[in-house]
Amino acid sequence: PSSSAASSSEDGCQSLPGEQKQQAVYTVWMKSLVFSGNGCTVYGADGCVAYRVDNYGCRGSREVFFIDRAGNNLIRIQRKSFCCMLRRWEAHRCLDDGEETTRPWFRARKAWRNGAVVTMLGGSERTTYRIEGCSRKSDYRITGADGAVAAAIGRKQTASGVVLGEDVLTLTVGSGADHLLILGLVVVRGLMNRCL
């Protein structure tokens, strides 16, 4: 799909551009669409599957792929362990031709108290993000280096006020944020908490 505008597909769902910058709301179901798999499914505002992670191995796998609805790899996330205790997660962005970047896009590690620290590695400056919130709670937020909230995640609530299960979340991505990055961070947090 073109990254300039969303286009309609045969099934009536919108194709999502790779890097959106306007505010958007996604529904994240922390379950795989595959019967015996682990993973998560991200639905767009139109109610169609936008992205997914299918992990056919065990929960807490060392490597997962974040893919779009057409099955194209967008991000490869790997868990790296040092001395059996120090863990970090590295994400490589996949290019249009299916190849991935040689240098990691970002690295994430658990913070000493709660949440995680994320370091971007792509540019000349090392930008940092924080995933703030208790590790076992569904509600958390992602903030930039300046402390501004880039995204907020919480349990999904229906229009009539019914709160859905802890595995159904609403992700609100702020304007100016890279949606693919934010979605990648949601996946990393799920991996850190062994939800995927």
- The tens digit of pLDDT for each residue in 15-54 reads 444 556 789 999 999 888 776 677 899 999 999 999 999 7
Average pLDDT, the chain: 82
- The tens digit of pLDDT for each residue in 116-127 reads 899 998 765 678
CA distance 131 to 186: 9
Q: How far is CA 49 from CA 24, 102, 155, in A?
A: 15, 29, 18
Alpha helices in 30-111 (DSSP H): none
Residue 168 gets the label, from left (phi > 0), alpha (psi -120 to 50) or beta, of beta
Which burial class, exposed, middle or buried, applies to 183 when counting CB atoms under 10 A from its CB (0-12, 13-18, 19+)? buried
Q: Is residue 3 part of a domain?
A: no
Best mean pLDDT range from 9-23, 53-67, 152-166:
152-166
Q: Is residue 123 part of a domain?
A: yes
Q: Is residue 12 part of a domain?
A: no
Q: Is residue 19 part of a domain?
A: no
CATH number at residue 99: 2.40.160.200
**What is the mean pLDDT of the segment spanning 145-160?**
92
pLDDT score of 5 more than 60: no
Determine what percent of the chain is predicted with pLDDT higher than 90.
46
Q: Is residue 63 part of a domain?
A: yes
CA terminus-to-terminus distance, the chain: 27
pLDDT band at 115 (very low <50, low <70, confident <90, very high): confident
- Name the amino acid, one letter, at 148: A
pTM: 0.83
Domain range for residue 163? Answer: 24-192
Q: Is residue 174 part of a domain?
A: yes
CA distance 150 to 184: 13
Q: Is residue 5 part of a domain?
A: no
Instruction: Please give the pLDDT value at position 6.
Output: 40
Q: Which of 56-60, 91-95, 135-139, 169-173 has the lowest mean pLDDT?
A: 56-60
Q: Is residue 175 part of a domain?
A: yes
Split into its structural domains, the chain has a count of 1
